[in-house]
């Protein structure tokens, strides 16, 4: 897949799972920018050493796979900014222009959003029940599963994740969990809309998502919010 990307002159590759060395080595010497997802300072330093062009930091607020230390975006972003020379992109709990301005205050060069983009008109792969679950979410609506496997990941809390956590408490390991954490279980929720017969990733920011706009409207709103804050601080409003 990386070779196809090189052949097709893809401008940017985002590396999000495991050791990034393989992908980074493959694209070296080609005119492709690489962005590596990291959830801890040491991972970030390693990515820089391996030649990444930028890192994307994910704090414990994020949806999907997270770091093992539960470090908040608020702490992890400035910490990594202080240790790296390459640009840092912040993620985890960011859903609006206020989050963007906070990320810039920490010294990040930009933001990444996951959950926020699922609740957009263009995200057609996501079943309407998945989007509705994000709209209904509050601060108690997500849980971290797979911690017992050393791969913690944040999902929407439902009877399915309750069951996963029960199995994890019984220390059943991967074999005891595999049917519950499988790709099929994920797809049943997110594609088929079976909200109690599978699981769906979501960040804590879901508590702050109240609409399903077009991506264009979302971007305009974020930029307007950020610009309002900037103006306020520069004494222009």
> Please, what is the minimum distance in Å from the beta carbon of residue 138 to its own copies?
7
For its own copies, the closer CB: 106 or 130: 106
Residue 16: CA count within 13 A, CB half-sphere:
11
> Please, what is the minimum distance in Å from the beta carbon of residue 42 to its own copies?
9
The neighbour count for residue 134, using CB atoms within 10 Å, is 24
> Please, what is the minimum distance in Å from the beta carbon of residue 2 to its own copies?
30
For its own copies, the closer CB: 98 or 221: 98
Distance CA 28, CA 30 (A): 5
Distance CA 108, CA 13 (A): 19
Distance CA 13, CA 30 (A): 12
Vertex 31: Cα angle to 30 and 36 (nearest 5): 90
Helix and strand element counts for the chain (H, E) = 11, 8
For its own copies, the closer CB: 177 or 206: 206
Tokens 């930091």 belong to which residue? 57
**Whats the size of the chain, residue-wise?**
237
> Please, what is the minimum distance in Å from the beta carbon of residue 69 to its own copies?
5
For its own copies, the closer CB: 21 or 98: 98
> Please, what is the minimum distance in Å from the beta carbon of residue 61 to its own copies?
4
Binding region for its own copies (CB under 8 A) = 40-41, 59-61, 69-76, 78-79, 82, 92-94, 96, 98-99, 101-107, 138-140, 144, 204-205, 207-208, 229-230, 233-236
For its own copies, the closer CB: 63 or 198: 63
For its own copies, the closer CB: 27 or 101: 101
**215 phi and psi angles, rounded to 5 deg:** -60, -40
> Please, what is the minimum distance in Å from the beta carbon of residue 203 to its own copies?
8
């Amino acid at each position: 897949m990386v070779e196809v990307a090189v052949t097709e002159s893809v401008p940017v590759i985002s590396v999000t799972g495991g050791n990034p060395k393989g992908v980074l080595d493959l694209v070296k010497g080609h005119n492709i920018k690489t962005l590596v997802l990291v959830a801890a300072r040491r991972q970030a330093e390693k990515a820089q050493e391996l030649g990444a062009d930028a890192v994307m930091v994910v704090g414990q607020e994020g949806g999907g796979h997270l770091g093992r230390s539960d470090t908040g975006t608020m702490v992890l972003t400035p910490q990594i900014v202080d240790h790296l020379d390459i640009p840092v992109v912040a993620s985890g709990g960011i859903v609006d222009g206020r989050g963007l301005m906070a990320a810039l205050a920490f010294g990040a060069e930009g933001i990444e959003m996951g959950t926020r983009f699922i609740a957009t008109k263009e995200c057609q792969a996501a079943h309407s029940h998945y989007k509705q679950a994000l709209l209904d979410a509050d601060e108690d609506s997500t849980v971290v599963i797979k911690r017992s496997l050393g791969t913690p990941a944040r999902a929407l809390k439902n009877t399915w994740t309750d069951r996963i956590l029960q199995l994890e408490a019984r220390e059943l390991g991967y074999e005891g969990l595999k049917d519950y954490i499988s790709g099929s279980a994920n797809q049943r929720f997110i594609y088929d809309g079976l909200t109690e017969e599978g699981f769906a990733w979501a960040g804590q920011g879901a508590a702050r998502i109240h609409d399903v706009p077009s991506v264009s409207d979302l971007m305009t709103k974020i930029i307007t919010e950020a610009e309002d804050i900037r103006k306020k601080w520069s004494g222009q409003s």
